[in-house]
Amino acid sequence: MTRNRSFIACSVALAATPVLPVSALADRTDPAEGTELYFISPQDGDTVVSPIHVRMGLRGTHTLQLLFMDYRHISFDPPVVSEQITITVE
């Protein structure tokens, strides 16, 4: 019985998951030229077991800014933001 409840709960969760239109992906910007992505873990040759956790890094110079939102993840109007900072990941 517990297995059936888990299956039903999983099915409901998947059915309720919103599907993004392809146009939502088109609004993304390309990474800066020279940006280099690398894996922190797992490392080459590692043996993995489920669940797998992948950690990635991004070398280069990046500008960061916090955008504060409410409990629904909707930004305030006017937006509440932090100062921008620039970091360099080597």
Q: Does residue 83 have a pLDDT over 90?
A: yes
User: What's the pLDDT tens digit per position in 13-22?
Assistant: 444 445 545 5
Angle value at C-alpha 35, between 39 and 51, nearest 5 degrees = 20
Q: Which residues contact 4 (CB under 8 A, 6 or more apart)?
A: none
Q: Does residue 2 have a pLDDT over 60?
A: no
Q: Which residues contact 32 (CB under 8 A, 6 or more apart)?
A: 60, 61
User: What's the pLDDT tens digit per position in 23-64?
Assistant: 555 566 777 777 777 788 888 888 888 888 888 788 888 889
